[in-house]
């Protein structure tokens, strides 16, 4: 029994069968992906492929003869190796995991034996930004040459090269379907519709909770990295540490079935206080959470409010016209005794001329100490 770095334990029953990996043109059988497989699975077959020196027939027939009498669990291939894997899957009736497969031609003019008649399940992972193997041409090829019900297309925000973490994630999804990560926390599992913000609960199971924490942390870190990170969340263990954070929402925007943006908040006597956001870095996710915040802050019936600063404050107030709380006593009442170190009204940098009113709009600015550092904030929304 072996342990996977950052993943779960793989049992012997889950390892049953050979895991095959076929590398691409400019890669080798000794890279990080091969190391990941050999370190974590007891039965692997990872040949060194000399595409430029050997004939395509010799390469194909050699691998086929080595696998014909074996129990093969999965054939993984990348780029030109993805094309080779595709042809072998059809010959051996074995599921395939194809990363940016060069199915429609390649620079060397290599052609493998495509005469196999089986149609096993294929999982095809395509880079949205791949300029070597065009995703739309791969999809068109499969639609014209394969049974549509037998392949699934997924997209990643990558170019042609497949990062190790993407390779590991998809490999484990197919080899160990029991493993769950936050990225496998599908919107459909909580009854969410595409593009609709939906509440979800913190997992009670500790194992699931740990898995969610790491991926949610990555989304939060992406959202706040430009300003040095979120003050109260410095590592994955901090994500669910504050038990007052009891309102979590997610939205799925793009082609897959995974949440691309999350927001969270706290139920208080004054309504729901917005506490933070996490997203995958895409423009769609950023626009999605801004629109959600603006709608919630502007809806008087929700009693939704929050503290904002810097660019977010300027965007919400200037562009979305969200209401601003300018009453000092109201702010101190909501935040509690001692939380407001100084009330300025107009932002202090606007008073000195360092900023304009458009940079820091509103007349409810106050100073707070958060994470040991002073921050100028302004409260927006409709608290009770």
Q: Are residues 10 and 101 in the same domain?
A: yes
Dihedral angle over CA of 225, 226, 229, 235, nearest 10 = 10
Contacts of 47 (CB under 8 A, 6+ apart): 22, 29, 62, 63, 66
332, 315, 317, 309: which is closest to 383 by C-alpha?
332
pLDDT at 250: 84
Q: Are residues 68 and 206 in the same domain?
A: no
Q: How many domains does the chain have?
A: 2
- Indicate the pTM of the whole model: 0.51
Structural domain ending residue among the three candidates 129, 151, 179: 179
pLDDT in tens, the chain (384 residues): 222 333 333 333 344 789 999 999 888 888 889 998 998 788 999 999 999 999 999 999 999 999 998 999 999 999 999 999 999 999 999 999 999 999 987 778 899 999 999 999 999 999 988 999 999 899 999 999 999 888 888 888 899 999 988 898 889 878 765 443 334 445 555 555 667 778 877 777 777 777 778 778 888 988 888 777 888 898 888 998 888 998 888 888 766 667 788 899 999 999 999 999 998 888 888 888 888 889 999 999 889 999 999 999 999 999 999 999 999 999 999 998 789 999 999 999 999 999 999 999 999 999 999 878 899 999 999 999
Structural domain ending residue among the three candidates 140, 162, 179: 179
pLDDT at 185: 47
Give strand pairing partners of 19. Answer: 44, 74
Q: Are residues 197 and 292 in the same domain?
A: yes
pLDDT at 190: 57
pLDDT at 184: 43
Compute the half-sphere exposure of residue 368: CA atoms within 13 Å on the CB side of its CA. 19
Q: Are residues 193 and 161 in the same domain?
A: no
Q: Are residues 157 and 269 in the same domain?
A: no
Question: In which residue are the tokens 């060069």 written?
Answer: 102
Q: Are residues 162 and 58 in the same domain?
A: yes
Q: 3-class DSSP state for residue 5?
A: coil
Structural domain that includes position 247 = 188-381
215, 120, 124: which is closest to 162 by C-alpha?
124
Structural domain ending residue among the three candidates 162, 179, 196: 179
CA separation for the pair 82, 77 (Å, rounded)? 4
Q: Are residues 198 and 162 in the same domain?
A: no
Q: Are residues 247 and 324 in the same domain?
A: yes
Q: Are residues 90 and 136 in the same domain?
A: yes
Q: Is the distance from CB of 150 to CB of 122 less than 8 angstroms?
A: yes
Q: Characterise 225 by phi-psi region: left (phi > 0), alpha (psi -120 to 50), beta (else).
A: alpha
Which H helix or E strand runs over 21? strand 18-22
Task: Look up the CATH number of the domain holding residue 230.
Answer: 3.40.630
Q: Is the distance from CB of 187 to CB of 198 less than 8 angstroms?
A: yes
- Phi, psi angle pair for 75, to nearest 5°: -110, 120
Rg (CA), the chain: 26
Q: Are residues 201 and 230 in the same domain?
A: yes
Q: Are residues 193 and 95 in the same domain?
A: no
24, 55, 16, 327: which is closest to 161 by C-alpha?
24
Q: Are residues 277 and 328 in the same domain?
A: yes
């Amino acid at each position: 029994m072996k342990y996977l770095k950052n993943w779960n334990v793989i049992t012997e029953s889950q390892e049953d069968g050979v895991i095959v990996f076929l590398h691409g043109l400019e890669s080798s059988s000794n890279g990080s992906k091969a190391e990941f497989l050999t370190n974590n699975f007891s039965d692997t077959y990872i040949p060194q492929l000399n595409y430029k020196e050997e004939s395509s027939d010799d390469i194909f027939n050699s691998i086929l003869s080595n696998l014909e009498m074996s129990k093969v669990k999965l054939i993984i291939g990348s780029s030109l190796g993805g094309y080779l894997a595709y042809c072998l899957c059809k010959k051996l009736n074995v599921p395939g995991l194809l990363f940016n497969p060069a199915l429609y031609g390649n620079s060397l003019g290599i052609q493998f034996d495509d005469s196999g008649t089986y149609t096993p399940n294929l999982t095809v992972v395509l880079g949205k930004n791949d300029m070597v193997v065009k995703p739309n041409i791969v999809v068109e090829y499969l639609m014209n040459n394969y049974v549509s019900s037998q392949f699934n297309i997924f997209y990643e925000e990558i170019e042609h090269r497949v990062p190790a973490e993407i390779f590991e994630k998809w490999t484990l999804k197919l080899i160990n379907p029991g493993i769950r990560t936050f990225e496998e926390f599908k919107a459909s599992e909580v009854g969410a519709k595409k593009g609709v913000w939906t509440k979800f609960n913190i997992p009670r199971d500790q194992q699931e909770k740990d898995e969610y924490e790491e991926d949610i942390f990555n989304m939060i870190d992406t959202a706040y990295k430009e300003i040095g990170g979120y003050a109260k969340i410095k590592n994955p263990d901090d994500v669910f540490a504050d038990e007052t954070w009891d309102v979590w929402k997610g939205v799925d925007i793009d082609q897959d079935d995974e949440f691309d943006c999350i927001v969270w908040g706290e139920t208080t006597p004054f309504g729901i206080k917005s506490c933070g956001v996490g997203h995958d870095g895409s423009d769609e996710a950023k626009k999605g959470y801004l629109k959600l915040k603006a709608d919630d802050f502007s809806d008087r019936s929700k009693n939704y409010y929050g503290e904002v600063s810097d660019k977010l404050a300027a965007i919400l107030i200037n562009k979305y016209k969200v209401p601003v709380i300018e009453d000092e006593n109201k702010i101190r009442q909501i935040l509690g005794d001692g939380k407001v170190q100084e009330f300025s009204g107009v932002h202090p940098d606007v008073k000195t001329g360092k900023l304009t009113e458009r940079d820091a709009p509103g007349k409810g600015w106050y100073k707070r100490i958060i994470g040991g550092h002073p921050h100028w904030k302004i409260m927006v929304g409709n608290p009770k």
